[in-house]
C-alpha cells in the first residue's frame, strides 16, 4: 500500500512538472525540454553565451529555454531588444523575484527591485542625488581626479620594477570614487571596509551567473543544502554589517538638512517620509551596497579591458596619446568637456565598452503584463533574458563586429558617431542609473593615465589572452603591465618617451 502511494505521488508530480514545462499558445519556439531538467543539459553552466548564439541561429531572435520547469525567453539582436526594452518598455521592465540573486540580496535595493511605486521612488531619488553631487564646489570631476592621484602614485612607483598587476588597483580606484558619493569619504586601499567589500563583490559576481546559481534557480529542492552558492549569502551578510557600521556613524554625526553624501540625503528623506513610504533603514543598507557594486565592478572591468587592448594594439595607444597631447596642450588636467574635441579617444573608449561587454546578459527582466514581442505572445511574469552580447557584435550593425577597431565609432570624416546597437548599459527604464558617472570616469581615467604613461605588454608574458572570465560581469583574465613615463608635448616642445631605465 505504501509503495503504491509513493508511485501515485511520483506520477502526479511528474504530470505537474510536464504541464509546467509546456509552452503556452503562440509562445516563442525553442529546443525540446526534458522533464524536471528542462534545457539545462544543452547549456554550458560555466559560460552559456556561445550556446545562446548557437540556439539563436536555429530558433531566431526570440526563443524559449526551460531552466528546470521554468520558461525563460531569450531576446537577441538590436531589433528584438529595442522592441522589448524601448518600444514596450514598461511591459518588460519587471524583475523576476524568485531567483538566486533575489534571495541573496533579500529583495532589497534598487537594481533588482520589481517594477512598481517603490522602485520608481528609489530610482528617482538615486538619479536626483547622483546628479546633485556632481554639481557645486566638490564636483564629480574633482573627486575622480583626486582619486586618480593615488593611482598615478602606484604606477610611478612601479616604473623600473617588475610588471604591475592592475586588477586591485582599478577595483580600488572605482570603489573609492563611488564611496565618496555614497559615504562622503575615501578609504586607504588596505582599509578593511574597501578590502573586504571589493573581495565580496568579486566573489559574488562570479557566483551570480555561474553554474551554482543556475542550479539554484533551476532546482529549488537544493536551495538549503550546504553547497558553494551559500558563500554568496555570507558575503552579503558581511557587507551589510560594514554598511550598518557606516550608517550608525552617519546618524551620530549628520546635521539634518545639510547632507554630506548619499547616506545623509537618504536619512533626510526618511525624516520627511510618512506612513506608506518605501524608504527605510533596512532598505538603505542594501540600496547603498547595490550602487556601490554597480559603480565598482563594471567600471573597473571596463578599464582592465581597455588597457589590455591598448597594450596589445600599441599603434592605437599612440594615436590616442597624440590626440590627447594636441587637445590638452598645457592644460593642468583633462575635463569631461574635452571629449568633444577628442573623436578618436571617444571612439576608443566606446570600442572598449563594446568589446568588454561587461554585463553580457544585462540584468534579467520579467514581463509586467501579458504582452507581445516580434509576433509572439508573452504572458505576465515571464523571465526575460536580454542577450546584449548579440547586439554588441551583431553583423550588419558594426563595420568590424568581431575585432577591436575604433573605426566602429568613426564616420568617413573621422567624426565620432554612436550606432544604435551600442547599448552596454542596457536600454529603457531599467537602463543603468550610473551611466553618467561611468562615462565620466572612463574618459577622465583613460585620458589622464595615457597622457602621463606608456603601457607596454611585458616581453615574457606570452600573447595577450582576450578570453574573459564569465560571471554576472565579464572580467579579463589577470594580466600584468609594464609602465614607462611619458613627457607630453607642451608649449611646442617635442614629445618623447623616457624609458623606465633612465
Distance spanning both ends of the chain, measured CA to CA? 89
Q: Which residues are annotated as a binding site?
A: 432
Contact 419, 396 (CB under 8 A): no
Domain with 443, as residue range(s), is: 117-359+403-497
Q: Would residue 24 count as lying in a domain?
A: no
Q: Would residue 32 count as lying in a domain?
A: no
Closest CA relative to residue 451, chosen from 484, 488, 481, 483: 488
pTM value is 0.87
Q: Would residue 12 count as lying in a domain?
A: no
Q: Would residue 229 count as lying in a domain?
A: yes
The tens digit of pLDDT for each residue in 91-123 reads 998 888 877 777 777 667 777 778 888 888 888
Number of residues assigned to the chain = 502
The two counts, helices (H) then strands (E), for the chain are: 16, 9
Q: Would residue 278 count as lying in a domain?
A: yes
Q: Would residue 330 count as lying in a domain?
A: yes
Please, is 37 exposed, middle or buried when counting C-beta atoms within 10 Å of its C-beta (0-12, 13-18, 19+)? middle
The tens digit of pLDDT for each residue in 354-410 reads 999 988 888 889 999 999 999 999 999 999 999 999 999 999 999 999 999 999 999
SS3 484: strand
- Which of 6-15, 102-111, 411-420 is the least confident region? 6-15
Dmax (CA) for the chain in angstroms is 96
pLDDT score for 496: 42
Contact 254, 392 (CB under 8 A): no
Read off the CATH number of the domain in which 256 is found.
1.10.630.10
Question: In angstroms, rounded to a whole number, what is the distance separating the alpha carbons of residues 360 and 469?
Answer: 12
pLDDT score for 213: 77
Question: In angstroms, rounded to a whole number, what is the distance separating the alpha carbons of residues 204 and 469?
Answer: 13
The tens digit of pLDDT for each residue in 11-35 reads 444 444 444 446 678 999 999 998 8
- The average pLDDT across 303-310 equals 97
- How wide is the angle at C-alpha 128 spanned by C-alphas 352 and 274, nearest 5°? 140
Q: Which residues are annotated as a binding site for heme?
A: 432
Strands 62-67 and 383-387, how do they pair? unpaired
144: confidence class by pLDDT, cuts 50, 70, 90:
very high
Residue 502: is its pLDDT beyond 80?
no
Q: Would residue 99 count as lying in a domain?
A: no
- The average pLDDT across 164-180 equals 90
Q: What share of the chain is helix, strand, coil (3-state, %, to 5)?
A: 55, 10, 35
* Cα dihedral 83, 87, 91, 97 sign: positive
DSSP state of 296: H
Residue 186: is its pLDDT beyond 90?
no
Strands 62-67 and 70-76, how do they pair? antiparallel
Q: Would residue 40 count as lying in a domain?
A: no
Contact 155, 483 (CB under 8 A): yes
Contact 390, 52 (CB under 8 A): yes
What total number of domains does the chain contain?
A: 1
Amino acid at each position: 500500500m505504501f509503495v503504491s502511494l509513493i508511485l501515485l505521488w511520483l506520477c502526479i508530480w511528474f504530470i505537474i512538472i510536464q504541464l509546467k514545462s509546456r509552452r503556452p499558445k503562440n509562445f516563442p519556439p525553442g529546443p525540446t525540454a526534458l522533464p524536471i531538467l528542462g534545457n539545462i543539459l544543452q547549456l554550458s553552466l560555466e559560460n552559456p553565451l556561445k550556446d545562446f548564439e548557437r540556439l539563436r541561429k536555429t530558433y531566431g531572435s526570440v526563443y524559449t529555454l526551460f531552466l528546470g520547469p521554468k520558461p525563460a525567453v531569450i531576446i537577441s539582436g538590436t531589433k528584438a531588444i529595442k522592441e522589448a526594452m524601448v518600444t514596450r518598455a514598461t511591459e518588460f521592465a519587471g524583475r523576476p523575484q524568485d531567483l538566486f540573486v533575489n534571495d541573496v540580496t533579500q529583495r532589497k535595493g534598487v537594481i533588482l527591485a520589481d517594477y512598481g511605486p517603490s522602485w520608481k521612488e528609489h530610482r528617482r531619488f538615486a538619479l536626483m542625488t547622483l546628479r546633485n553631487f556632481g554639481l557645486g564646489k566638490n564636483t564629480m570631476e574633482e573627486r575622480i581626479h583626486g582619486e586618480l592621484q593615488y593611482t598615478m602614485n602606484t604606477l610611478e612607483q612601479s616604473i623600473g620594477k617588475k610588471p604591475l598587476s592592475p586588477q586591485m588597483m582599478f577595483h580600488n580606484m572605482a570603489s573609492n570614487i563611488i564611496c565618496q558619493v555614497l559615504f562622503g569619504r575615501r578609504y586607504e586601499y588596505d582599509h578593511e571596509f574597501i578590502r573586504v567589500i571589493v573581495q565580496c563583490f568579486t566573489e559574488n559576481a562570479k557566483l551570480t551567473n555561474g553554474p551554482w546559481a543556475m542550479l539554484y534557480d533551476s532546482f529549488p529542492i537544493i536551495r538549503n543544502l550546504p553547497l558553494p552558492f551559500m558563500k554568496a549569502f555570507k558575503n552579503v551578510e558581511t557587507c551589510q554589517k560594514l554598511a550598518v557600521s557606516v550608517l550608525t556613524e552617519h546618524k551620530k554625526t549628520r546635521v539634518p538638512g545639510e547632507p554630506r553624501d548619499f547616506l545623509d540625503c537618504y536619512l533626510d528623506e526618511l525624516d520627511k517620509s510618512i506612513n506608506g513610504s518605501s524608504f527605510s533603514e533596512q532598505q538603505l543598507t542594501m540600496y547603498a551596497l547595490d550602487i556601490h557594486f554597480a559603480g565598482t565592478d563594471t567600471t573597473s572591468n571596463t578599464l582592465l579591458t581597455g588597457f589590455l587592448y591598448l597594450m596589445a594594439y600599441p599603434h592605437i595607444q599612440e594615436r590616442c596619446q597624440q590626440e590627447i597631447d594636441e587637445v590638452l596642450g598645457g592644460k593642468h588636467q583633462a575635463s569631461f568637456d574635452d571629449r568633444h574635441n577628442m573623436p578618436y579617444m571617444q571612439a576608443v573608449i566606446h570600442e572598449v565598452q563594446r568589446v568588454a561587454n561587461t554585463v553580457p546578459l544585462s540584468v534579467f527582466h520579467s514581463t509586467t503584463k501579458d504582452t507581445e514581442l516580434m509576433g509572439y505572445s508573452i504572458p505576465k511574469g515571464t523571465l526575460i533574458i536580454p542577450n546584449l552580447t548579440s547586439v554588441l557584435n551583431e553583423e550588419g550593425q558594426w563595420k568590424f563586429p568581431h575585432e577591436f577597431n575604433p573605426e566602429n565609432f568613426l564616420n568617413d570624416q573621422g567624426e565620432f558617431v554612436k550606432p544604435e546597437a551600442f547599448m552596454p548599459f542596457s536600454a529603457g527604464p531599467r537602463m543603468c542609473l550610473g551611466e553618467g558617472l561611468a562615462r565620466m570616469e572612463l574618459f577622465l581615467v583613460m585620458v589622464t593615465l595615457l597622457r602621463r604613461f606608456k603601457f607596454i605588454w611585458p616581453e615574457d608574458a606570452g600573447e595577450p589572452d582576450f578570453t574573459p572570465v564569465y560571471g554576472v560581469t565579464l572580467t579579463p583574465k589577470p594580466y600584468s603591465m609594464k609602465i614607462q613615463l611619458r613627457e607630453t608635448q607642451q608649449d611646442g616642445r617635442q614629445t618623447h618617451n623616457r624609458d623606465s631605465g633612465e
